Amino acid sequence: MDRILIRGGKALKGNIQIGGAKNAALPLMAASLLTGETLSLSNLPHLADISTMAKLLAELGVDISMDGDASNGGNDGRVFAMTAGNLDNTTAPYDLVRKMRASVLVLGPMLARAGRARVSLPGGCAIGTRPVDLHLQALQQLGADIELSEGYIEARAPTGLTGAKVTFPMVTVGGTENLLMAASLAKGETVLANAAREPEVADLAHCLVAMGAEIDGIGTGTLTIQGKDALHGAEYAVVPDRIETGTYAVAAAITGGDLTISGARADLSEAVNKVLTSAGVDIAPTNDGIRVTRADGGLRGVDIMTEPYPGFPTDMQAQVMALMAVADGASMMTETIFENRFMHVPELCRMGADINVHGASAIVRGVKKLSGAQVMATDLRASVSLVLAGLAAEGETVINRVYHLDRGYERLVDKLSACGADIRRESE
Ligand code: UD1
């Protein structure tokens, strides 16, 4: 298994190109199941999760041809042309679903188009139980017949789905996405209330509109969908990754560096930018992104609570905690989206951070310096927070279980080392 070695203390300087958002790309790929025509997606990031989704779609009979290459340091991303001719196989098997929870996003489109879907239950994962009950309840409200049997979700709608008013009891990104796709091919009108407003949900909605869907309220908490008999092919470019953007903004801040982050959409990161600015980081708009520098006065602790969009994203909590670990003063960080999302805390403490967890809150008391250590993490964002801490720490940090990073950060080591980080990857 590969590991990453970092010698901290180098201020990062230079330019980093942001790729397409993983969390937008995954539902967009699943949307290819909604039509027999070709959906062509560009700006797809080169990531393990994207390959897992491609494998799953291929298993379901989607013909995928690849074009474009993100591995050359360019910013063109990959292009996938996906054609779901006939959905002969409607089973998403355990082996693929267990690798990635987002596999459950094939449920809504497959059920709506083929009238049946069999999807392995994703099960628990490292950041809490993360059930899919809200997806299932909402699909039932559209008339789906759903049973759980032998670890699989068995969903049927032999005469198609029918529009309904669905009010989500809590905001769910994946649930909203599954329902948006299903409702696009349902009979009549569907209203999704308390829908997720994340930019990745809006990206999916815009792509569905390009495929012929009729959706009102995009970007708001109420989505109204007029179902269509069929959707058609389209070409669509994936929105830039706001979490990758925020992660590199923290890299600039934690090392006292100066990074231009190209291709970033500052308007999608307002909550994160506000926190970083209050912490003493300068963020200025550029022609095609942002420039992040650390203001002269050093870093200050800021209190943070994760919330659904437009609130502060849970996917940035671990990275900003690494930053708060070296800020002046204390910071209270409260996680309201996922239980058990503080797995990075003991590892940051091994690097000299002073952090105490009380229930859903962590009190971070800033220390002058972190020191390098052997660490490992059990999820994507936790892993990258250790990379960020390592960039600022004295001495060598060794990060094990690098495969988590490959799920969500394209060419992380290359991008950081091009900006002066002393970082390398090696096979054990
Ligand atoms: C998506 C993102 C993930 C991000 C999360 C919250 C993708 C591929 N992943 O995950 O990176 O951290 O949004 O912004 O886009 N819940 C239920 N029942 C359900 C569904 C969700 O109880 O049926 C709970 C979850 O356990 C969690 C909360 O609702 O506590 C939010 O989860 P959700 O928004 O659905 O997250 P994901 O779509 O899985």
Ligand 1 neighbourhood includes 103 CB (under 6 angstroms): no
pLDDT mean across residues, the chain: 94
What spacing in Å lies between the alpha carbon of 242 and ligand 1's midpoint? 17
Assess whether pLDDT exceeds 70 at residue 73. no
Cα dist. 15→10, 18, 93, 418 in Å?
A: 15, 10, 41, 8
**Average pLDDT rounded to a whole number, residues 240-265:** 97
Residue 102, pLDDT score? 93
Tokens of 345: 């805390």
**3-state percent breakdown (helix, strand, coil) of the chain, nearest 5:** 35, 30, 35
Instruction: Convert the pLDDT of each residue in 305-357 to its tens digit.
Output: 999 999 999 999 999 999 999 999 999 999 999 988 999 999 999 999 999 99
Ligand 1 neighbourhood includes 172 CB (under 6 angstroms): yes
The continuous run of DSSP H or E covering 282 comes out as strand 281-286
CA 331 to chain centre: 25
Instruction: Convert the pLDDT of each residue in 256-272 to its tens digit.
Output: 999 999 999 999 999 99
Residue 123, pLDDT score? 62
Assess whether pLDDT exceeds 90 at residue 68. no
66 pLDDT band, cuts 50/70/90, is: confident
What spacing in Å lies between the alpha carbon of 299 and ligand 1's midpoint? 31
Beta bridge partners of 214: 226
Q: Is the pTM of this model over 0.75?
A: yes
Instruction: Convert the pLDDT of each residue in 171-195 to its tens digit.
Output: 999 999 999 999 999 999 999 999 9
Percentage of residues of the chain with pLDDT beyond 90: 87
The continuous run of DSSP H or E covering 422 comes out as strand 422-427
* Catalytic annotation present for 125: yes
Residue 72, pLDDT score? 46
Ligand 1 neighbourhood includes 26 CB (under 6 angstroms): yes
Cα dist. 14→20, 24, 255 in Å?
A: 20, 27, 13
Ligand 1 neighbourhood includes 175 CB (under 6 angstroms): yes
d(CA 41, CA 39) in angstroms, rounded, equals 6
d(CA 222, CA 336) in angstroms, rounded, equals 22
Assess whether pLDDT exceeds 80 at residue 231. yes
Residue 297, pLDDT score? 77
CA-closest residue to ligand 1 atom 31: 172
CA-closest residue to ligand 1 atom 37: 174
Atom of ligand 1 nearest to the CA of 22: 8
126 pLDDT band, cuts 50/70/90, is: low
Atom of ligand 1 nearest to the CA of 133: 23
CA-closest residue to ligand 1 atom 38: 174
What spacing in Å lies between the alpha carbon of 182 and ligand 1's midpoint? 18
d(CA 423, CA 428) in angstroms, rounded, equals 16
The rounded radius of gyration (Å) of the Cα atoms in the chain is 21
DSSP string covering 41-89, please? EEEE---HHHHHHHHHHHHTT-EEEEE--GGGS-S--EEEEEE------
CA-closest residue to ligand 1 atom 33: 172
Residue 75, pLDDT score? 46
Ligand 1 neighbourhood includes 102 CB (under 6 angstroms): yes
